[in-house]
């Protein structure tokens, strides 16, 4: 099982403030994760060829083919809100200056 000191070090790297109770919970959870990775190390993958990203087979497709044009539609809620306020400017609610 992972030690409290290791959990505290990981928490410090992640800039997490953990209480004593949380440290113990994290010990258990991180240990389970590490045990799972150790289990995966034992899997026999000999004879299995690595898989590749699907685009390797589709060499004619470019990034621009996979992208779509962005467009913004005003929602009915926004329109209803803007219709209900006393004053708007360029599609925004206009309010008094607050300093």
The DSSP secondary structure of the chain, one letter per residue, reads ---HHHHHHHHHHTT----HHHHHHHHHHHHHHHHHHHHHHTS--TTPPPP--GGGT-TT--HHHH---------HHHHHHHHHSS-EETTEE------
Confidence at residue 58, expressed as pLDDT on a 0 to 100 scale: 60
Residue 82's φ and ψ, nearest 5 degrees, are -65, -30
Residuewise pLDDT in 10s, the chain (99 residues): 899 999 999 999 999 999 999 999 999 999 999 999 999 999 998 988 877 666 555 666 666 666 778 777 778 888 888 899 999 988 888 998 887
How far apart are alpha carbons 77 and 90 in whole angstroms? 17
44 token code pair: 């026999």
55 token code pair: 């685009």
Q: Is the pTM of this model over 0.75?
A: no
């Amino acid at each position: 099982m992972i030690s409290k000191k290791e959990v505290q070090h990981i928490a410090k790297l992640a800039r997490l403030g953990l209480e004593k109770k949380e440290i113990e919970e994290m010990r258990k959870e991180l240990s389970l994760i590490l045990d799972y990775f150790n289990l995966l190390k034992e899997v026999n993958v000999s004879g299995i060829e690595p898989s590749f990203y699907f685009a390797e087979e589709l060499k004619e497709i470019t990034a621009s083919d996979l992208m779509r044009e962005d467009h913004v539609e005003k929602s009915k809620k926004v329109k209803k809100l803007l219709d209900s306020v006393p004053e708007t400017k360029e599609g925004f609610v206009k309010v008094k200056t607050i300093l």
